[in-house]
Amino acid sequence: MQYQWYPGHMTKAKRQMQEDIKLVDLVVELVDARIPVSSHNPDIDELGKQKSRLVLLNKADLADEAKNQAWCAYYKAQGSYAVRLDARNRAGMKAVQEVIQEACREKIERNLRRGILNRPVRAMVVGIPNVGKSTFINSFAGKACAKTGNKPGVTKGKQWIRLNKNVELLDTPGILWPKFEDQTVGMHLAWIGSIKDELLNKEELAMELIKELAKGYPGCLNERYGVCEEEEPAAIFQALCESRGCLKKGGGLDYGKAAALLLDEFRGGRLGRITVEAPPAGSWSE
């Protein structure tokens, strides 16, 4: 399968981010908790290398809680701050606020030592499209001051959201495009709905997802669709198609419809809380 982004947008967004990043002390990177590797663009490691880093494992409500915790431990072991989050829920923002304060403490103390009293520490949000950047900024700021949706250029000029007397957040997020020289990365992004469906072969995606679920989350397909998971993936797909009555007008099974249904239900969390990518084994302590 081939996945395509639009180079013009990518270059513009990256350039904008390079400019914005110069203005901040802390980079808050959102990744999708279901696929923290594939939803991370390694460019940010280079672009933000002089900055403090906070990773927000967003959409943690859709991800496996044991793996959320493992990922947080992993990031901490790597020297980054990390918080798991449902960006739609304001209640989770207190924890983020505390970690931002913690991550910025060194900078604040350094400023004080140099006699710089009134310079707030500045942070910006970055992440791939659809990871929840605008939702997070809205919830965090406590009011609808950032537009939801990925529309470059919605906010004109730089605006800072003052969180408290020490910390300000840039109200426009930096958009990173996912990197997928590796086809698995593209597939994982497609599973969570981060790549436009028109570009994809949904049936192939669904088949691969069936394989993954049968292996990683045994029982979930059986529970949702009543299919026998002992069968080959193609047979499971057929059984799913039948159990949901996905039929073509002229007769025969409509695999396209079944694939769309499976992907949709997976994306909406109706198959349970599922994490596709686990941190490397032995890279953190539980």
Which residues in 199-258 contact ligand G4P (CB under 6 A)?
A: none
The binder of ligand G4P chosen from 9, 76, 88, 119 (CB under 6 A): 88
**At a CB cut-off of 8 Å and minimum separation 6, what does 138 contact?**
144, 145, 146, 148
Helix or strand holding residue 126 (H, E): strand 121-127
Is residue 87 near ligand G4P by the rule CB under 6 A?
Answer: yes
The pattern of x and - marking residues 104 through 143 that bind ligand G4P according to CB under 6 A reads: -----------------------x-xxxxxxx--------
Distances (CA, A) of 113 to 60, 105, 110, 168, 175: 38, 12, 5, 20, 34
Q: Which is nearer to ligand G4P, 61 or 242 (CB)?
A: 61
Distances (CA, A) of 15 to 31, 34, 266: 21, 28, 34
Distances (CA, A) of 84 to 56, 58, 100, 159: 6, 6, 14, 26
Which residues in 43-72 contact ligand G4P (CB under 6 A)?
A: 58-59, 61-62
Is residue 41 near ligand G4P by the rule CB under 6 A?
Answer: no
Task: Count the residues of the shown chain that bind ligand G4P, applying the rule CB under 6 A.
Answer: 19
What is the closest distance, in whole angstroms, from the C-beta atom of residue 174 to ligand G4P in the complex? 10
Q: Which is nearer to ligand G4P, 61 or 203 (CB)?
A: 61
Token output for 58: 């967003």
The residues pairing with 121 across neighbouring beta strands, listed in sequence order, are: 167
The residues pairing with 122 across neighbouring beta strands, listed in sequence order, are: 168
Is residue 150 near ligand G4P by the rule CB under 6 A?
Answer: yes
Q: Which residues bind ligand G4P (CB under 6 A)?
A: 58-59, 61-62, 85-88, 127, 129-135, 148-150
